Structure 1
Amino acid sequence: MIKAAAILLSCQLVGTAVSRAFGLAVPGPVLGLLALLALLALRPGLAGRIAAPSHALLANMSLLFVPAGVGAIDHFDSFGSDGPALLTALVLSTILAILAGVGAFLLVARMIGHRDE
Structure 2
Amino acid sequence: MIRSLAIILTFQLVGEITSRGLGLPLPGPVVGLIAMVAAFILRPDLAQAIRPTATGLLSHLSLFFVPAGVGIVAHWDLLREQGLGLAAALTGSTVLAIAAGAWAFTAVARLTGSEERAALRDQGRE
TM-score (norm 2): 0.74
What fraction of aligned residue pairs are identical, expressed as a percent? 46
Structure 1 residues not aligned, in runs of 5+: none
Q: Deviations along 1:38-66, whole A, 9 cap, x unmatched?
A: 10111122222111111111112111111
State the Cα RMSD in Å: 2.4
Measure, in 2, the Cα distance between the counterparts of 1:49 and 1:96: 39
The structure having more radius of gyration, on CA atoms, is 2
Q: Which residue of 2 aligns with 1:5?
A: 5
CA distance, structure 2, for counterparts of residue 100 and residue 36 of structure 1? 28
In structure 1, what residue type is equivalent to 2:47?
Answer: A
Deviates most, 20-29 or 92-101: 92-101
What are the residue-to-residue correspondences of 1:1-117 with 2, within 5 Å?
1-99=1-99, 102=102, 106=105, 115=114, 117=118
Name which structure has the greater RCO, CA cutoff 8 Å, separation 6+.
1
Gap change, CA 1:28 and 1:49, over 3 Å in 2: same
**Alpha-carbon shift at residue 100 of structure 1 (Å):** 5.5
Secondary structure class of the residue paired with 2:35: helix
Question: Secondary structure of 1:45's match?
Answer: helix
Shift of residue 84, structure 1, vs aligned partner: 1.7
In the alignment of these two chains, the number of paired residues is 113
Distance 1:101 1:48 in 2: 32
Please list every run of 5 or more consecutive structure 2 residues that lacks an aligned counterpart in the other structure.
Answer: 119-126
Deviation at 1:3, TM superposition (A): 2.1
Measured in 2, the distance between the counterparts of 1:42 and 1:103 equals 33
